[in-house]
Structures are given as structure tokens and as C-alpha cells.
Structure 1
């Protein structure tokens, strides 16, 4: 049986991947710069995570301790199993590792909030307290992209976003989505670009090999919104241009996509979509 929180988590994954045209990302019309995956890979991956979200909901419902970091680490153990399920479903392709982390946190926290009547973003902040230092603070030989970016730039990536309680979602993306108008496609594309005006996308940094590319992304996303977004011909043309640049440079906006997914999830939970 799928509960409503799990259902909205799965809807968020599917809403994101079926929204097009997304620069630097997989959508129905194009795999973008991801030649090893397509929309069907993402559908299979999404459905493979059903049990994980059910587990996340159960952890949030049943946790009774005062230290919410322990709830996070219980969730993380389930997340490791979820990554294996994802890779089995996609034949080894990493489609949703970032979403397993972020959407798992939101799903678990939302469930806890329903049970304990607490506030979502405060709960996430308590769950992820000290996470950057715990995971990255004592690494002498960085191996993963996240570890290398922390060592080189001091940027904590998805862990830092979570530890801060996702202010980019609470203060920027979610209010923008709530106030947006038009088709779901236009609203989600514009919300993605709103996120891209502020996000420090670790996937993009990895692909570009430098952190200066973030300034480029912020400027391009702001220009798109200034043209009126997807509701205007100029906005559509700008998005087409951005798509082409991402293809030419092999840029991925995977970090922005993860933030869009959790924004969609909260939007569904609150009736904004």
C-alpha cells in the first residue's frame, strides 16, 4: 500500500523528468548531456524507490528520540539499500542518487511533522545538524566529486543545503512556485530556472571543472526569467539557447533538478500543484 507522502514523492520524481525542455537534463525529448540514460531509465528508477519512500515515512512516523540526527542516520541506512535498488533497475546507471538523499530527507521529515506537528524546514535542519563536518571534515584524500569540491572550494554541496534546512527551497523556490501561473510545464520550467539563479550546482561544477561556471548559470537563468519565462517567445528561445550551450559543453544541472524535485514534493503536499 502506498501512503500519500510516498505517492507525492513518486509524483515529484515523475513530474520533474517529464517536464521539458530542461537544459542540461533528461526529458522526454532528449537525454541532454546524459548519453547513458533516457526518460524510461528515470521512470524505472523512480518506481524502484517506492519501498524506500515507504521506509522513510515509517521512520518519520515512529521515531521518538530527541536527537533528530539519529532519525537521519536511520534514513541513511535505508538510502544505501535504495541506491542498490536504483542501480539494479537502471542496469548500473546513476539516475537518482542526489534525489535519494534530498527527497528521502524531505519525505522522512514530512512524515515526522505530520506525527509531531513540527515545522518541515526546522525539522530538516535538526535532522542534518553537523552533517558537513561529520561527512567531509576529516577526509584527507578526497575521492568523490562532493569530497573534492569541499576540499578545493570549501563548498559542502547537498549536505550543506540540508544542514541549513534548504533555505533555497523555503525562501526562494517554494514561494516562487506557489505564486507562479500558467501550465504545469511552464510553472516547473520557470521554477527550475529560479532555482538556477541561486543554486551552486555541484554537478555543473564537476562537469565544467571550475566553480566560475556558477556565475554563468546564475546570469543565464536570470536573463531567462527577465524575458518573461516560458510564457513568452523570447523566454522559449532563451531556454533553447541554454539547452544548446549545455549540450555543447556537456553541462549537467543535476543539482538544480534535485532541488526542483523536492520543491515539487512540498508543492504537492501543500496543494500548490
Structure 2
């Protein structure tokens, strides 16, 4: 068994018959933080803080988002280490819940109480744990879904989040439902869009914006529902769909539609934060050196040499 970063690594069997090692806990943490940074810097994002400014927010900007992401690095690493050393089940779920609450407290200390990445911590924390020992992104999402479905037996009693209130009021899936369904908007929507764009040579920033917009056009985003109700959600979903129908963020007409949507979101104080979290998750999954992908590349090399 190969050891990476001081912990046993798992993976798939390569062309030589040896195990292709999975990513280390340190690498998974680095990639999670990098994904959050890439999402934060992406511009122009409708209603969201980015390189241009605060979007529909009064209390957060790009430097705060980047500081928040860095504050979560130790949590992501601890999550991966727990997943490496514990069996899947309720005890792992309890430990991950404890780490998540500690990570949220560390984030809030850095942000002075501003909720920058609570949803992203939930989503990426589950996927980081799911990635340990997984052959590819689909297996990681399924593992994360099984964790999400388990109760956190030590969850303290506290007021429900805005997203949870919106989920209950409007009867939508929300972040928890997305996780329990194995992140369909990540694995079936954003990630394939990113990869198709990459294969077609589309500029990275355009590919990421279009992936975000496709999620926005489909997701019942509880961040939007909390601020704008069903009408606000209609504005976001239809506006994102229009940008894509005009050719996406990389075209003149699509870019104009994107800026128009941004203006409408800012005017209505609509921030599609749930969609942004799922984009960050897709960016994370796209960067992980999955053992199955590595083994597949090795097989292609051997075939080409024959």
C-alpha cells in the first residue's frame, strides 16, 4: 500500500498491476481552497461578489472571500484525514459534523461574523470526505450522499439557517437535498459543461461562467429564494437561461445579457450563492487527480505505443 502525506492511500489498479494512489489529505484540502478561490475571483458573476465589487452584498467582497477560503484549509484537511482513518458510517458522520462546526467557527472569526462559506463548507466538506478512496468523481459524490443522509447526533440546537427556512417554506431540495441526491447539479450539469468547454478550447473564465449560468438556470437556489422568493428565483433562472441562449458569456450578445442579469440581481438584492457553491464543487472535482482517470490515461498511453 502506497503512503501519501503520512496516511494510507487507496486507488485503482493501473496498467502495471500496482495500485494508482489516491490524492493525499493535504492535496484535497489545497484543491478545495483553490476551488473556492477560483469561484470567488470569477467575474462578472450575477449578483455575487467578485473582482468588480460586492454584487448584491453589503458585507462581503473578494478579499474577505479569499481569507475565508484560506481559513477553511485546516478543516478540509482534517475532514480528509478522518475519512482516511475511519470506517464509513455514523461515527465518521459525527466526527465530520464536529469538524464542520469547528471550521464554521474558524471561518466566522476571520470574517467577523459574515457568513461567507457556510454552504460551501457543507458541500465541499462532504465531497472532500467522499473523495478519499474514490476512483472517480461519481463515486465520490455517491459516498458524500451516503454521509449526508446520516444524522448528526451531536448537532446543537440553533436557529435554522436562511437556506433551511427557504427550503421548508418553498418545498425545494436545498443544500441537504442536493447532497443526499449525490450532487446532480454538480456531476450532471456543471462538471460536464466545464469538461466539454475545455475539450473545445473555450477560455477558462468563459467556461466557468457558462457552467455557473447553467446551474443558475436550473437550481432552486435557496439563497435567491430567501431574498427574493419565487419571483426572484424566476428572474435568476430565466436570466441565466437567456445568457446561454444568446451564446453564453463568451459572445457579445451573451455578455450583454449577463451584465443585464447582474444589474437586475443587484437591484433586487439577489445573490445566487447556492449556485456559486455548486460551481466551486465542480471546480474541485475537476481538479482532483482521480485514480480511475489516471489509470485510463495510462491505458491510452500503452495502447498508443502498441
* TM-score by shorter chain over 0.5: yes
| Cα distance in 2, alignment partners of residues 204 and 254 from structure 1 | 8
**Which SS does the other structure have where 1:231 is aligned?**
coil
In the alignment, the residues of structure 1 paired with residue 137 and residue 49 of structure 2 have an alpha-carbon distance, to the nearest angstrom, of 37
TM-score by length of 1: 0.88
- On the 8 A contact 2:132/2:140 being kept in 1, the answer is no
Tell me the equivalent position of 1:15. Answer: 38
For 1:206, the equivalent position in structure 2 comes to: 226
- Structure having the higher Rg: 2
Are 1:131 and 1:160, in contact at CA under 8 Å, matched by a contact in 2?
A: no
Secondary structure in structure 2 of the residue aligned to 1:119: helix
Report the equivalent of 1:52.
75
Q: What CA RMSD, in Å, does the superposition of the two structures yield over aligned residues? A: 2.6
Equivalences for 1:248-259 in 2 at 5 Å? 248-259=267-278
Gaps of 5+ in 2: 6-24, 294-306
Q: CA, structure 1 residues 167+42, in 2 after alignment: closer, same or farther (shift >3 Å)?
A: same
SS across alignment from 2:249: helix
Number of the residue aligned with 2:121: 100
Q: Note the residue ranges of structure 1 that are not aligned, 5 or more in a row.
A: none
Give the alignment of 1:71-110 within 5 angstroms. Answer: 71-110=92-131
- Give the drift of 1:118: 8.7
Aligned counterpart for 1:240 among listed residues 259, 263, 266? 259
* Cα distance, 1:108–1:87 mapped onto 2, change above 3 Å: same
Which residue of 29, 36, 50 corresponds with 2:52?
A: 29
Could you tell me how far apart the structure 2 residues matched to 1:258 and 1:143 are? 19
Distance in 1 (alpha carbons) for counterparts of 2:254 and 2:266? 18
Deviations 1:163-194 (A, max 9, x none): 11111111111111110142211111111001
**Which one of 259, 266, 270 corresponds to residue 285 of structure 2?**
266
Q: Give the 3 Å change call, closer, same or farther, for CA 143–111 of structure 1 in structure 2.
A: closer
Matched residues in 2 for 1:12 and 1:213: separation? 27
Deviation at 1:142, TM superposition (A): 7.1
TM-score (norm 2): 0.79
1:117–1:166 Cα change, 3 Å: closer
1:59-101 Cα offsets, whole Å, 9 max, x none, are 1111224x3x442332121010111111111122111111111
**Partner in structure 2 of residue 186 of structure 1:** 206
Q: Distance in 2 between matches of 1:35 and 1:142?
A: 22
- 1:176 paired with 2:199, answer no
